[in-house]
Amino acid sequence: MQSALAPIIDQYRDCEGALLPLLHAVQAQWGHIPDAAIDPIARELNLSAAEVHGVISFYHDFKTSPQGEHLVQVCCAEACQARGSRSLESYATQRLGIDYGETTVSGRVTLERVYCLGNCACGPSLRIDDDVYARVDNPTFDALLAEKAEEPGL
Amino acid sequence: MTLRIYLPRDTTANALGADRLAHSLEALAGQKGMDLTVIRNGSRGAFWLEPLVEMDHKGQRLGFGNVTAADAETLLAALADNPTAHPSYVGPVSEIPFLKNQQRLTFERAGEGDPLCIETYQQLGGFVGLRNALAMTAQQIVDEVKESGLRGRGGAAFPAGIKWQTVLDAVGNRKYIVCNADEGDSGTFADRLLMEADPFQLIEGMTIAALAVGATQGYIYLRSEYPLAHQILNEAIERAEQAGYLGDDLLGSGQAFHLEVRLGAGAYICGEETSLLNSLEGKRGIVRAKPPLPAIEGLFGKPTVVNNVLTLAAVTTVLAKGSDFYQDFGVGRSRGTLAFQLAGNIERGGLVELAFGTTLRDLVSEFGGDSASGRPLRAIQVGGPLGAYLPESSWDTPLDYEAFAEIGGMIGHGGVVVFDESINMSDQARFAMDFCAEESCGKCTPCRVGAVRGVEVIDRIREGNEPEKNRELLLDLCDTMESASLCAMGGMTPFPVRSALHYFPEDFQSEGSQ
């Protein structure tokens, strides 16, 4: 890992406020931020390991353990609530048999809540990896999960 | 003959199948040997019609609404033969009342063409404001913005010109322009739409701001929930650099301005300007106490303009057409136009740019229509998660900053979320506290602890556990959060809570007591 980490650190070392872009890049490489990356990042950016850890733990996006192959986010903010996202939320957890922040047994899907995807005129909204889906009801949820993540659910 | 059609490349249009439709149309045209050009334009913001296909026809743009991939075959046949006969035909786009009745300044170009085509942007009036600014002194630019009456569109509505003056007057060897594109409020998508449909306008606005205050570096702090906007902005910046609109020598003027997009990491609080600055510096997004103002000690301790996407975009209109033109729109101290966003349970959701002063009822009924569910409307939340829930008796309030403050609400970033009668308002009040507990940066106690206690107290009221006493306690807690929190997160979470409790008390009764 260290040999792959060094060029990533080099790429960001000299930019202003390097830590967030660097952590995004590390996560893009390994799917999460490995423990072993914290010390070298701290050393190279002249920070303490506690500072780096503090930043990682502050932001919802940064993960410290391996995630599912696909990230599925259900929007549960007000505009989607007005369109029935509360029932989609409970359906999603039931269907996948996991709670928010957890990964399915198959390892294919990590389920998360998200507060707003900016698709508020056409909720309930769902994001799978980098794609957003509109007016998602329970059957659409099933179909998307099967098509995009090959996750049959329970 | 080449058939030119337009199909938006936009998060909502794609969420409704625009990408898939584009592939189907291109594949079918290929099979049939048709000469078809699909231009991926930006969305016009009439999201209820997306995917909205448009076709050039005798100097007009004909519209076809809610087209899906399954319609590709019949649509292609109709386009080549008799377009107006297709069932999805909605008339010339300029005649659709939802669009025709708006007063578009900032969103005038949205949907006209390829958002990444710099020539299209120039043909449609782009970079006129920047060229004017290059011929002015820094003070003249700031004066023009001051005279326009433009106030911050992010929510706080602070006069933009005064902020710029402070940064211009501040002494610093390096100054920054920071665009707050961390559009986290539910019910808002105007920043996203602008960045996806007209990214050069934001770049132009930031460059004008840089000239006005003497900044050489700009950052767009974009939320990570907007991957498409990220891609489009990065590409737009690259093209603007190539064309000389960004870089070491702006259009040969000798002035330098560099621009970079920085991605947030899923923290609502980073939409608060001081927390955003900490995040940009690579730190936890913890709110800073003010003073010092960011205008004096902002990013890396340097004088910094922090403005919302739409504030910076509006500046291009002010500089291109003059402050008189801009401030002719609006009422009272709310000048210009605001991009309202109709969201939630609404028949015709989307972006509506209007001068300030229309009533909430007219905005919702004329543009939005009924609820999407067909049930009667019950409450409207204006201004995002920190805005009040308004019952029908408040809907005749004119949409201007002061009028909304008077009724204990706020216009904020212009989000209008509509709820039908199936909503339970104690759920919404609880959610407001829960959201604050989840997203609080944790620096100040009223917000960090108050929100957690707020959820507990609301639960006790709903369970019928000493409801009167707990109601009083909740109001007292709201007072504490409002007056003692460091920023608007804790300070305004009481708005939705109080309004729900005040206007919809019946929803807080436990089942046993009803």
Give the CATH number of the domain where residue B371 resides: 3.10.20.600
| Contacts of A3 by beta carbon, 8 Å cutoff, 6+ apart | none
Q: Which element (helix H / strand E) includes A41?
A: helix A35-44
Measured between beta carbons, which residues in chain B are less than 8 angstroms from residue A81? 344, 423, 427-428, 431
Residues A103, A77 within the same domain: yes
Give the helix/strand (H/E) hosting B326.
helix B323-327
The DSSP bridge partners found for residue B390 are B380
> pLDDT tens digits, residue range B341-370?
999 999 999 999 999 999 999 999 999 999
Domain shared by A98 and A28, yes or no: no
Contact, B369 vs B346, CB < 8 A?
yes
The verdict on B437 and B492 lying in the same domain is yes
A8–chain B Cβ distance below 8 A for any pair: no
Q: How near does any CA of chain B get to the CA of A27, in Å?
A: 11
Q: CA-to-CA distance for B364 and B375, rounded, in angstroms? A: 15
Instruction: Please write the tens of the pLDDT for every residue from A95-128.
Output: 999 999 999 999 999 999 999 999 999 999 999 9
Over residues B209-222, the pLDDT tens digits come to 999 999 999 999 99
How far A49 CA sits from the closest chain B CA (Å)? 13
pTM flag (> 0.95): yes
Using CB atoms, which residue from A79, A114, A131 is nearest to B344? A79
The tens digit of pLDDT for each residue in A14-45 reads 999 999 999 999 999 999 999 999 999 999 99
Domain edge (last residue) among A14, A36, A58: A58
* Same-domain check for residues B298 and B378: no
Helices (H) and strands (E) in chain A, counts: 7, 4
Q: How far is CA B88 from CA B45, B46, B91, in A?
A: 18, 15, 9
Is the ipTM, as predicted for this complex, more than 0.90?
yes
On whether both B376 and B314 belong to a single domain, the answer is: no
Closest residue in chain A to residue B381, using alpha carbons only:
A78
Residues 6+ apart with CB under 8 A from B28: B34, B72, B73, B76
Q: What is the pLDDT of residue B69?
A: 94
Q: Is the pLDDT of residue A50 over 70?
A: yes
Cβ–Cβ gap B12/A114 under 8 Å: no
Q: Mind telling me how many Å the CA of A31 is from chain B's nearest CA?
A: 14
CA distance B54 to A132: 23
- Domain span at residue A116 reads 70-149
Alpha-carbon Rg for chain A in angstroms? 18
A92 and A122 assigned to the same domain: yes
Among residues B100, B129, B153, which one ends one of the domains?
A: B100
Q: What is the mean pLDDT of chain B?
A: 97
B150 in the same domain as B285: yes
Q: For residue A97, tell me if it sits in a domain.
A: yes
The full length of chain A comes to 154
> How many domains are contained in chain A?
2
Do the Cβ atoms of A120 and B283 come within 8 Å?
no
Please report, for the domain that includes residue A103, its CATH number.
Answer: 3.40.30.10
Assigned domain for B108 exists: no
> How far apart (Å, rounded) are the C-alpha atoms in residues B106 and B203?
13
pLDDT on residue B192: 98
B416: nearest Cα among B352, B466, B336, B481: B352
Last-in-domain residue among B327, B353, B378: B327
In whole angstroms, give the CA distance from residue B487 to residue B268. 13
* Partners of residue B48 in chain A, C-beta under 8 Å: 121-122
The answer to whether the CB atoms of A20 and B14 lie below 8 A apart is no
* Rounded-to-integer distance, Cα B514 and Cα B462, Å: 11
Q: Is the separation of the CB atoms in B23 and B17 below 8 Å?
A: no
Interatomic CA distance for residues B340 and B349, integer angstroms: 10
- Domain enclosing residue B281, as ranges: 118-327
Which of A10, A28, A58 lies at the terminal end of a domain, its last residue? A58
Q: Do A121 and B48 touch (CB under 8 A)?
A: yes
Same domain, A54 and A85: no
User: What is the pLDDT at residue B511?
Assistant: 66
pLDDT at B502 over 60: yes
Tokens matching residue A110: 């990590």
pLDDT (average), residues B173-188:
97
Over residues B142-170, the pLDDT tens digits come to 999 999 999 999 999 999 999 999 999 99
Spatial distance between the Cα atoms of A121 and B98, rounded to a whole number of angstroms:
14
Phi, psi (rounded to 5 degrees) for A109: -130, 130
* Contact status, residue B142 vs residue B168, Cβ threshold 8 Å: yes
Residue pLDDT, tens place only, B222-250: 999 999 999 999 999 999 999 999 999 99
pLDDT per residue over B89-128, tens digit each? Answer: 999 999 999 999 999 999 999 999 999 999 999 999 999 9
Residue list for the binding site of A for [2Fe-2S] cluster: 75, 80, 116, 120
Given this model, what pLDDT does residue A149 score?
86
Sign of the alpha-carbon torsion through A152, A80, B40, B314: negative
Angstrom distance (rounded) from CA B355 to CA B352: 10
pLDDT for position B513: 55
Tell me the residues of chain A between 80 and 109 that have a Cβ less than 8 Å away from chain B. 80-83, 86
pLDDT of residue B117: 98
Lowest pLDDT segment from A85-89, B428-432, B506-510: B506-510
Query: B186, A120: Cβ pair inside 8 Å?
Result: yes
How many domains are there within chain B? 4
The structure tokens listed for A63 are 């993960």
Which residues in chain B have Cβ-Cβ distances shorter than 8 Å to A119?
A: 11-12, 15, 189
